[in-house]
Chain A
C-alpha cells in the first residue's frame, strides 16, 4: 500500500505538475509573513491569520489534488495520513513528511518535516517570535480546509519547529469527527 502511494506521488509530481522557482516561492511566503507581523504586531494574531489563509487555500487546493491524483475515498484515517504525506505534500511541495506517533484510537498522528521549503533561509527575530510565532502555520490551515471539503473535521497545529530552536519540526493532526451529514450521496 505505502509503496503504491509513493509511486503515485512521484508519478504525479514528475508528469502532471507545473514547477516554479523555489526561491521565488520562499521569498513570496516570507514577505507574506513579514507583512502580517508588521500589520498585526501580535504573533498569536499572525498565527491565526496564517491558519485562515491556509484554510482558504485548502478548500480550493483539494479539487486540484483530486483532479490530478484521481484517488478514491480513503478507507480510514491511517490511509488518509499516508495519502497526505506521500501524495499531497509530494505534489505541492515535493517533500514527504514522516507519519508517526499515532494515538491509541488512531485519530491523531504527527507529521515530522525533515525539510521545509517555506522556511529555507529564515531566522526568527529575537523579539519573542521564537516563543510565539509558528512560521509555517499556513500548512495547518491548508490541511484543515482541504480535509473539511472531503467531510473530515480536523485540528492541525505545530508542536515544535526548528526555527524556534527545537530538534525537529512536528505538526500534530487530530481527527475531530467525520462530517456525516455532508457526505455526497453514494459515498457513505
Chain B
C-alpha cells in the first residue's frame, strides 16, 4: 500500500504532495513545506558523507522505519520524487520511474506550467491515481 508521494524541486521547495491512503495523519501545508526542505538538506548531506574514496554517492535512497519505508529518486535535473509506502511493499523503484514518466508527460509538456512551480494539473492527478491503484494493490 502506497501512503504518499512528494515531489521536491531543484531548490528544495515542495511542488507536489498527495496522500493515497485513507486515515493517514495530516500535517499543515506549512509542515509539509518544512518537511520537504529538511529532506532536501539531509539528502545533500548524505551524499557528501560517503567514506568511499573517489566514488560519487547518490545520497539518501531509502529510509526504513517500522511503520513505513521512504524511497527517494533524484533525477539528473535535480528533481526529487519521494514515495512513502508500507515497509513490505516491493517494486517501489519501478513505481518511481513510472511516476517520473507521468511527470514528464502531464506536467512538463503542459505549456502553461512554469517549471519549478507547484504542480496543479488534473491530468497529472488522474494518471497518478490510476498508476497508484494499479501498483498499490
Contact = CB atoms under 8 A, between A and B. Distances in A.
Tell me if chain B binds chain A.
yes
Contact of A184 (B74, B100, B101, B111): B74
A184 B104 contact: no
Contacts, number: 65
Could you say which of A60, A68, A184 has the most chain B C-beta atoms within 10 Å of its C-beta?
Answer: A184
Contact of B10 (A70, A72, A184): A184
A70 B97 CA distance: 9
A172 B65 CA distance: 52
Nearest to A63: B104
A67 B56 contact: no
Interface string A47-90: 00000000010011111101110101100000000000000000
A187 B77 CA distance: 10
Q: Give the size category of B's interface with A.
A: 20 to 34
Nearest to B103: A63
Could you say which of B59, B74, B108, B111 has the most chain A C-beta atoms within 10 Å of its C-beta?
Answer: B108
B115 A60 contact: yes
B16 to A, nearest CB: 14
A184 B78 contact: yes
Contacts of B105: 64
B27 to A, nearest CB: 24
Given A60-B109, A188-B56, A66 B115 contact: no
Given A182-B78, A184-B76, A67 B57 contact: no
Interface in B9-56: 10, 43-48, 56
Interface of B: 10, 43-48, 56-59, 74-79, 97, 100-101, 103-105, 108-109, 111, 115
